[in-house]
Amino acid sequence: AQSVAQPEDQVNVAEGNPLTVKCTYSVSGNPYLFWYVQYPNRGLQFLLKYITGDNLVKGSYGFEAEFNKSQTSFHLKKPSALVSDSALYFCAVREYGQNFVFGPGTRLSVLP
Amino acid sequence: NAGVTQTPKFQVLKTGQSMTLQCAQDMNHEYMSWYRQDPGMGLRLIHYSVGAGITDQGEVPNGYNVSRSTTEDFPLRLLSAAPSQTSVYFCASSYSGPLFDSNQPQHFGDGTRLSIL
């Protein structure tokens, strides 16, 4: 069975500093991995995905994520955080022939 | 391009009442799904559909029904509302792939905030 963990409920970072939001997963085969962002009173918005190939994936709004197969991780990163990046972030996994499974979410607060 | 549209945005019900949450998409996606979002629990899949006339249960289907008569619409019915169904409900759609193997992301509506008193 698929599962996703986001070990931090909350991440605080100062504006201009690099940010990392962590995600680990468990699958039996090869996963498709996704990051979504949710702003207040809105639905989830797609940021980026990993399918295969290059372990560093670039996405929207300057975000990137690093796939590490040996550590079964897919951490979201950004070199310089903005106050406007403050939101709820979800990691998701999908195996072949399966539905999406979402992590519990990590709330990112970027402090001015 | 409207994407995924959910109505209503807010609703308050009394215990025992029934209602239908509407979801429509204009992207010709085969796969549609309903999730509920509760604090600290992420999104949990209620029901999903891989095409018109085909639906299946997700992780938390009890108390909910769905149907898929067209590609565009995927309504969620609460049969007899209970306080435990107080939540935010999201509808999502995506390209499914011929073998349910697509790597395309889901598109989400803005949700329906439902309170059961």
Whether residue A25 has pLDDT greater than 90 = yes
Residue A22's φ and ψ, nearest 5 degrees, are -90, 150
Helix (H) or strand (E) holding B66: strand B64-66
| B109–chain A Cβ distance below 8 A for any pair | yes
* Average pLDDT, rounded, for chain B: 93
* pLDDT tens-digit readout, B19-42: 999 999 999 999 999 999 998 788
User: Which alpha helices (DSSP H) does A1-112 contain, by range?
Assistant: none
For residue A41, what are its two tokens?
Answer: 């009173």
Tell if the CB–CB gap between B105 and A51 is shorter than 8 Å. no
φ and ψ at A29, to 5 degrees? -125, -145
A32 DSSP β-pair partners: A94
Q: How confident is residue B100, by pLDDT bands cut at 50, 70 and 90?
A: low
Q: Over chain A, what is the mean pLDDT?
A: 94
For B78, list phi and psi in degrees, rounded to 5: -95, 120
pLDDT reading at B98 higher than 90:
no
Q: What is the C-alpha to C-alpha distance for residues A27 and A94, in angstroms, rounded to an integer?
A: 9
Asked if B28 has any chain A CB less than 8 Å from its own CB, the reply is no
List C-alpha distances in Å: B44 to A67, A82, B2, B39, B41: 24, 30, 24, 11, 8
How many inter-chain contacts (A to B, CB under 8 Å) are there? 55
- Chain A residue with the nearest C-alpha to that of B89: A43
The pLDDT of B59-76, averaged and rounded, is 96
Q: What is the pLDDT of residues B46-67, one digit of tens each?
A: 999 999 999 999 999 999 999 9
Q: CB distance from B41 to chain A under 8 Å?
A: yes
Contact flag B111-A103 (C-beta cutoff 8 Å): no
**A70 has a pLDDT exceeding 60:** yes
pLDDT value at A45 more than 80: yes
A90: nearest CB among B42, B58, B100: B42
Distance CA A2, CA A55 (A): 20
Q: How many residues does chain B have?
A: 117
Angstrom distance (rounded) from CA A44 to CA B113: 15
What CA–CA distance (Å, rounded) separates A7 from A4?
A: 10
